[in-house]
């Protein structure tokens, strides 16, 4: 009797494992090896991390009860542009970020445009925040919603 119960239990667990829908998305492509460009991008993320977190928190606080997190590997540097002339220390940096809640459940995709210059107080200024995509939360995480974001 115990063996039959154990077999039935194992079959149920296996069936549930393969047929339960997953809401995890592989939205990040990881580089195969390190490069100078990747090192520079990672340094930019360290410098801009708190500014990115603040922009994300400000936007999603209207929609979510909990602030999403943006991991450095979920930030893509789209463009870095030097303003004015060669060797001027004034830049515009365009990023795409994918904030997550809980166990890496994506809530959207956003574009952030920062201006970085020694003449700016704090040296960083958010020029533009653009919400690009809204990702549906799985039913178990719907309790985090205040209201549904719109594009």
Residue range of the domain that includes 60: 35-142
Q: Is residue 7 part of a domain?
A: no
Indicate whether 43 belongs to any domain: yes
List pLDDT tens digits, range 83-103.
988 888 899 999 999 999 988
Structural domain total, the chain? 1
65 lies in some domain = yes
Residue 42 has what pLDDT? Answer: 83
pTM (2 d.p.): 0.74
pLDDT in tens, 42-56: 888 888 999 999 999
| CA pair distance 73, 141, nearest whole angstrom | 23
**Helices (H) and strands (E) in the chain — how many of each?**
2, 6
Q: Does 28 fall in a domain?
A: no
Which helix (H) or strand (E) element contains residue 115? Answer: strand 108-116
Phi, psi of 131 (to 5 degrees): -80, 120
Is 110 part of a structural domain of the chain?
A: yes
């Amino acid at each position: 009797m115990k063996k039959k119960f154990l077999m039935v239990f194992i079959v149920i667990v296996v069936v549930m494992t393969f047929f339960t829908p997953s809401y995890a998305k592989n939205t990040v492509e990881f580089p195969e090896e390190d490069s100078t460009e990747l090192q520079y991008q990672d340094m930019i993320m360290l410098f801009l991390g708190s500014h990115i977190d603040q922009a994300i928190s400000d936007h999603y606080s209207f929609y979510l009860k909990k602030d999403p997190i943006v991991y450095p590997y979920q930030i893509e540097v789209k463009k870095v542009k030097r303003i004015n002339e060669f060797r001027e220390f004034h830049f515009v940096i365009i990023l795409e970020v994918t904030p997550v809640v809980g166990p890496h459940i994506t809530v959207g995709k956003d574009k952030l445009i920062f201006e970085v210059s020694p003449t700016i107080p704090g040296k960083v200024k958010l020029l533009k925040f653009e919400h690009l995509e809204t990702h549906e939360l799985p039913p178990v995480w719907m309790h985090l919603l205040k209201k549904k974001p719109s594009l």
